[in-house]
Structure 1
Amino acid sequence: MSLLALRNLTKTFGGLVAVNNVTFDVAEGSIVGLIGPNGAGKTTVFNLITGNYKPDSGDIFFDGRTIKGLPTHRIVQQGIARTFQTIRLFQNMSVIENVLAGCHCRMQSGMLSAMLRTPAQRAEEQRALLRATRELEFVGLADEHANLAKNLSYGNQRLLEIARALATDPRFIILDEPAGGMNDQETAALIYTIRAIRDRGITVLLIEHDMSLVMKVCEKLVVLEYGALLAEGVPAAIKDDPRVIEAYLGVDTDD
């Protein structure tokens, strides 16, 4: 069953067609990779799904209902979380505070109850702290909870973004180049983390240029080129597809 369905999605910026009539599905409980050369439109697709951009045409369905045109906070409330290609953390806040920021979308207490420190508000705050602590443990950053985000290594900042996204209690998580800046050991641990996210019942869609990671962790690949769908299928088939090889590596046209 498809949890996310893109139908004839198109987005232009002036004369540039960034996403051109793209249609694909992401099955619930799967790990799907969205790949393609630089400038293929991958991050634009992510921004359309998460409400950062509005499509010019086409539709986006999540769990059978359209989310086209919803503001970003409503899409998060629907159960879609994301990380970013460029790290977006609160650098001068602690690690645990960054993850607590992700919990905010599920909290019900208003300003008055927060000012009065009502029992219900304090209980909700404690639940959020417990959730944030668990997500830090999940990504292996429990010992860093009091550290400032800016003092983490680049790879650990990537993991902190994942923990914050998980704190929103998503059904679907979008990871934009999560292995960027990671060494081989950190990338190996990330593969385990992505699989563990799926094992929690969260569907995963990721952009990643590390093809070794993609081939190890993804069950399906969707390939874009110049904003259009080039190919989709299981990794083994995509790896040997001549169109994909040409898009990535080019072909020798000399006789």
Structure 2
Amino acid sequence: MSLVELKNLTKTFGGLLAVNDVSFSVEEGSIVGLIGPNGAGKTTVFNLITGNYIPDTGEAIFDGKDVVGMQTHRIVNLGIARTFQTIRLFKSLNALENVLSGCHCRMKSGVFASMFRTPAQRAEEKRVLEKAMSELEFVGLKDQWDTQADSLSYGKQRLLEIARALATEPKFIILDEPAGGMNDQETQELIELIKAIRERGITVLLIEHDMSLVMKICEHLIVLEYGAVIAEGDPETIKNDPRVIEAYLGADDDLL
């Protein structure tokens, strides 16, 4: 069953055709990779799904609803979360406070309850704090809950951004180059983390240039070039596709 269906998405910026009639689906419970050379339009596709951009044409169907034109906070409330190619954390806040900011979209207490600290509001505050700590533990940052975000290593900042995304309680998480800046050990730990995210019932779509990671973890790959889909299939099919080899993988066996 498809959780996400993109239908004929097109996006131009001035005279640049960034996304060209892109259609593909993401099956519920899967781990799917969106790959391609720099400038292929991968992050633009992510931005079309999450409401950062509005397509010129096409549909982005999530869980049966077209999210095109929806405000980003409504899309988050539906169950879509994401991380970014360039890390976007509240760097002056600690790790726990960053994850708590992700929990905010699921809180129900209004202004009155917050002002007067009603029993329901206090109970919700306790639940949210426990949720945030649980997500930090899930990504391996529980012991650094009070560390300021910009004092964490680059790899751990990536993990913190994933924890914050998970705190929104998504059905579908989009990871934009999650292994960027990570060493080999951190990358291996990331692979296990992504598998664990899927085991929670969350569908994963990622952009990643680390082809060894992509080939190890993704069950299905979509390849973009110049904003258009040029190939789609399982990793074995993709790594042997002549169009993909020419456009992206090249002849370096280490990539495969």
TM-score normalised to structure 2 length: 0.97
Q: What's 1:141 paired with?
A: 141
Identity between Structure 1 and Structure 2 (%): 73
Q: How does 1:140-179 map to 2 (within 5 A)?
A: 140-179=140-179
Which amino acid is 2:231 matched to?
A: A
Paired AA for residue 108 in structure 1? K
Distance apart, 1:87 and its partner CA:
0.3
**1:101 paired residue number:** 101
Q: CA RMSD in A?
A: 0.9
Partner letter of residue 36 of structure 2? G
**Secondary structure of 2:170's aligned partner:** coil
Structure 2, unmatched stretches of 5+, are: 252-256
Amino acid at match of 2:228: A
Question: For the residues of structure 2 that align with 1:250 and 1:128, how far apart are their CA atoms?
Answer: 47
Partner of 1:71: 71
SS at match of 2:34: strand
Structure 2 CA distance for aligned equivalents of residues 129 and 102 of structure 1: 11
2: CA distance, partners of 1:95 / 1:57? 39
Name the aligned partner's letter for residue 114 of structure 1.
S
**Partner residue in 2 for 1:35:** 35
SS at match of 1:19: strand
Tell me if the contact between 2:239 and 2:249 (Cα under 8 Å) persists in the aligned partners: no
Q: Distance in 1 between matches of 2:144 and 2:230?
A: 42
In 1, distance between residues paired with 2:74 and 2:8? 22
- Structure-1 residue corresponding to 2:127: 127
Q: CA deviation at 1:34?
A: 0.2
Aligned residue for 2:161, secondary structure, equals: helix
Structure 2 Cα separation of the partners of residues 249 and 208 of structure 1: 13
Q: Deviations over 1:103-140 (max 9, x none)?
A: 00000111221111111111111110010011001000
Aligned residues: 251
Offset of residue 143 of structure 1: 0.3
| Pairwise CA distance, 1:238 | 0.1
TM-score by length of 1: 0.97
Over residues 49-80 of structure 1, what are the superposed CA-to-partner deviations in whole Å (9 max), with x where a residue is unaligned?
Answer: 00000010000101112111101000000000
